[in-house]
Amino acid sequence: MLAPDTLIHNRYRIVRLMGEGGMGTVYEAIDERLGYSVALKQTLVGGPAPMEHTFEREAQQLARLRHPALPVVSDFFTDEAGQFLVTSFVPGDDLAKQLAVRGKAFFLEQMLRWADELLDVLEYLHSRQTPVLHRDIKPQNLKVGKRGELILLDLGLVKDSPLPTSHARGVSSGFGYTPLEQIQGEGTDPRSDLYALAATLYHLATNHPPADALRRASYLARRQPDPLRPPREINPLLPFTFANLLIAALSLDPAGRPSSAQAMRFAMYEERTGKAKALPILQPAVERTMPIVEKAAAKPKRQSQLITALPEPTQPLPHVATRSKNKPIWYLWMAGATLAIILFGGGAWWLAA
C-alpha cells in the first residue's frame, strides 16, 4: 500500500486510498504536471515480460474507449512500484456508501434509469471489435456524476487476454456479485457481466445483497432450495416483470440469463415504459458515444397491420355522379316561366284597358 504524499512516476502524488479489489488498489492522486485530481490504479498482475506486454496492450485499448458512463484513461506506466493506470477522477460517494447512509432501497424509477445507462455502456463494451468485459460490477464501482449520470468505475481486462480468468478478478471484494463461472475460473463472457449487474440491482432494489453464487451452488448440489430470496419477498413494491428479470439474470447457468446487454435492456425498457421496443440495427461501437436513455425505437407493426400497395386497375373506375354544390338548373326554368306569365298577364290587361 502506498502512503499519502508518495510521488509516483515523478508526476502523481498520492492523496488517499480509495479502494481495493481483486485486480489492484485505487488511489486518489494529484497530477502535478497538470494540477488536477486523477484516479491512480495499481494493478496486482505483474512479473514476466509477456504479462507486461499484455498490460500495455490492454491499457492502450482501454484508452480508446469513449462513453459518458466511463472514466477516460489518460496514462499508464510501469515502474518499481508496479503497473499503474491513470483515469479521470469522479468525486463523491459510491452507491454502496449511499445505500448504507440511506438505509433503504432506492426508488424504482431511479434504478430503472441507472439500469438503462449501465446496459447501454455494457452494450458498447461488449460490441466492440475486441470485446471488453468489466468483470467487477458492484455498488462500490458505481458513482453518480454531477449531472445525475451513472459512472462505471474500475474497468477490467479485455476479453482476448491470455491471462487465466482466475487471475483476472476470479475472486474480488465484490464476491457476492461475481458469477459462478468466474469464481471457478471456467471462463467469462458478456453474460457474466449481466449476472453482476443483476446482483447489483438486486442489492439496490432490496437493500439486501443477494446470496453469493458459491453458496447457492452448494445448496443446489445438496438438493436444497436456492438460498436466493425472490426480490419481491423483500420489497413487495417491485413490479413482477422487473423482479423476474433479475432472477433470470442471476441464473447460475449462463444459458439461463438474457443473451446480451441489448436484450436485457429491451426488457428493462418495456418495464419502464409499458411499451415494446423494436430491435434497432446496431451502429459500429466506435460511433456510439452517447447513451440512449429516453429515446426509443419505433414500435414494430404486426403483420396484420401492414398495408401493401394496391395494384393499378385494369379498367377505368365507373363514374359516380355527385351532387353539384350550385343550385339545380330547374330553379332557373321556374323563375323564367313565372316571369313570362306575369308579363303575359300584364300585357293582356293593358290591351283590354
The DSSP symbol for 313 reads P
CA distance to 62, 86, 216, per residue, from 80 (Å): 23, 16, 42
Instruction: Give the torsion sign (CA, 101, 107, 113, 115).
Output: positive
17 grid coordinates:
486510498
Q: Cβ(182)–Cβ(188) under 8 Å? A: yes
Which of 136, 154, 193, 212 is flagged as catalytic? 136
> How many Cα atoms sit within 13 Å of 151 on the Cβ side?
20
- Tell me whether residue 116 is one of the annotated catalytic residues: no
CA distance to 40, 153, 192, per residue, from 294 (Å): 34, 23, 26
CA distance to 27, 94, 202, 346, per residue, from 2 (Å): 9, 22, 34, 127
At position 201, the amino acid (one-letter code) is L
Strand, coil or helix: what is 229?
coil
**Catalytic residues, which ones?**
136
